[in-house]
Amino acid sequence: MTPSDPVDSEASGATSKAFPESGHPHLLDRDHSLMAFNERVFSWATRTDVPVLERLRYLCIVSSNLDEFFEVRAAPHLTAKRADDRQGSYSVRSFERLSVALHALVARQYALYNESLLPALEQNGIQIISHGERNAAQRHWVKQYFLREVRPLLIPVGLDPAHPFPQVANKALNFIVRLGGLDAFGRSNEIAIVKVPRVLPRIIRLPAQLGGDCAVFVALTSVIRAHLSELFLGRTVEQFSQFRVTRHSDLAVDEDDVQNLRTALRQGLVHRHYGEAVRLEVSSSCSEYLAHFLLKQFDLPSMSLYRVSGPVNLVRLTQMIDLLVRPDLCFGHYKPCFPRQIHADANIFDQLKKGDIVFHQPFESFDGVLAFLRAAVIDPDVLAIKQTIYRTGADPSLMDLLREGVRRGKEVTVVVELKARFDEEANINWAEMLESIGAQVVYGVVGLKTHAKMLLITRREGKQIKRYGHLSTGNYNATTAGLYTDIGHITANAALTGDMEQLFVHLASQSRLPRLKEMWVAPFSLQKNLLHKINVLGGAAGKGESARIVLKMNALTDVELIEALLQAGRQGVQVDLIVRGACMLPARVPGLSDNIRVRSVIGRFLEHSRVFYLRLGAVEELYLSSADWMNRNMVRRIEVAWPVTDPVQRQRLVDECLLAYLHDDADAWDMAPDGSYHRVQSRTGRPGHSAQTALMLRYGLSNFHEGAQRPLT
């Protein structure tokens, strides 16, 4: 099978061109590749065949992605700009090129919001009205809301030597005001700052009787803007603007120099909100005087200023989506089925003795994981439960089961990753709760993040001790399990569960990890084994044998693995890469990557599963993994990859995770040799084949009949 779908002329706005300053001139730039990914997400917000509230949601997702990009990736570029010199692989040129791409994407976001989404919402009876658009009754209600809910929480700060510029938190909403006249002491201090508390909703719905046939909303920024003068009695408001500063927020703790990592991280969280400023957003109408004042205050160059025609934080518009009950303007409801291989009326441990269980989220539900853990908690023969925790979210279901396991006398060991970015506080709280009830909580290996997803059950069966394990490509998070595609694998395979036991012992004791039988573990063997497999296939292809590689992951940025794939492709291996996000490997470049194709699928669900298919002749291997092919995953994290050896299960994963996506001509984008992406178009002129839609039909309809299997050739 070789997909040869034509592509249209629609291309993602950012091109991931080679970046000679990176030290690898034939590879694509990682940060520009991330921008190209966000352009693909943004394309969903532009699609008129997508319900309007979902289009708005995609716009919010892009804004959230950009926030995280600035918080994590922008600082090195900015450092090079300030130094007016190269700083490692970053330079003034890298900062300027990236800024141009970012400004272009932000401009397109707000143009879409104002020119397309707001009119589309209004056509469907949803309005966000400004002060000038409000009638007398609406203005009266807004004023009363301001006086009752907003004004008591606002404390304007006039700047003078005794009142310097206040600390402004990361991504917080603020107003800057230039005042005329004199203050109460006869001084002409003209600049004031108004900090807006996070507790205030950013979008407010007016009572139904004030909206007529429409659902009418007002933005908090509009409410404050209309009543700014009431905060400065005796002064005139001459200029003003909302503003938001984004700060570098990648929390760094020297683990070799702390006595208690949990305490150090909790202290570090306090300072995260006040890291180095990397971006300044202001209203499009902000005066040059105020913009220059803010840039100077935050020590930012002019290209770090983003003027926006709307709210400075589009992400908060998700609050409006949540306040609306308009199923006609959203995707049709999809309820995942309970994993089909798990028989609710059978003992799951007896079932596992007959074969492994594989389920495909979110088409099959996360309830399969909870059912497995619940069975272990209530089974009197289960002696121990061990689990890794990376991101669990706010849903307490899983933690409640672990807590109940402790109450019932099980030995519960939980490896909690405290350094899961932006989830540190939640994980600290979960760790403290588990410790308080008697669970054994460990924090993994110093210097490494524990990113592996494992749940291991130890059970007494007669005179024997048996192990049962769950491995996953995604987190133990009930919320994201309904939004992300991932593979869960429950097994009684003694070799694989034995490897899991050894890894848990290693994480708790930090003793040497012995040679494992089935599992590959980063940072010890994962990259080495992947390189070995690729090189073997390349060598065989060079001798004329048939060899095939198909990889599905979120990101491909590890240079050593990329070089191995390029070499294998030159030796004759046919390589297909399904990479949702950043990909530094250039596809179909003559003489470099003729045999390598790169595809990205952006759909209703976020593609998150990691599936690695390797074939030499008629011998097929398929691995699932917690790891993307990034350097950090290979050398700075505890990651796992494991084989799926059952031929029926393996073929199912080939069909659902690889073939379906290689034949997608509805939600897929193919990479061109210059690193740009072009959306794949259906040949027939009719709506194309969407892999995600097909899987929803397969698992959402009991009468769905699977088509004939196709070989992966």
Contacts of residue 400, defined as CB under 8 A and 6 or more positions apart, other chains included, come to none
CA 479 to chain centre: 13
| Residues across the chain | 713
- Cis link prior to 396 (omega < 30° from 0)? no
Strands 215-219 and 236-247: unpaired
Structural tokens at position 370: 């909870």
User: CB of 565 within 8 A of CB of 579?
Assistant: no
Nearest to 98 by CA among 11, 23, 171, 15: 15
Q: What is the DSSP letter of 160?
A: B
Q: Which residue out of 32, 77, 451, 470 is catalytically annotated?
A: 451
Q: What is the DSSP letter of 337?
A: B
Whole-number Å distance between alpha carbons of 28 and 633: 19
User: CB of 500 within 8 A of CB of 519?
Assistant: yes
Contacts of residue 11, defined as CB under 8 A and 6 or more positions apart, other chains included, come to 672, 676, 677, 678, 679
For the chain, count helices (H), then strands (E).
Answer: 20, 28
User: CB of 205 within 8 A of CB of 215?
Assistant: yes
The C-alpha angle 583, 585, 586, rounded to 5 degrees, equals 110
Whole-number Å distance between alpha carbons of 28 and 476: 33
Q: What is the DSSP letter of 336?
A: P
Structural tokens at position 107: 């401009």
Active site residue 678: no
Structural tokens at position 18: 């080679």
SS (H, E, C) 510-570: CCCCCCCCCCEEECCCHHHHHHHHHHHHHHHHHCCCCEEEEEEECCECCHHHHHHHHHHHH
Looking up tokens 């879409």 gives 112
Nearest to 608 by CA among 596, 620, 624, 623: 624
Contacts of residue 504, defined as CB under 8 A and 6 or more positions apart, other chains included, come to 386, 413, 415, 454, 456
Where in the sequence numbering do the catalytic residues fall? 451
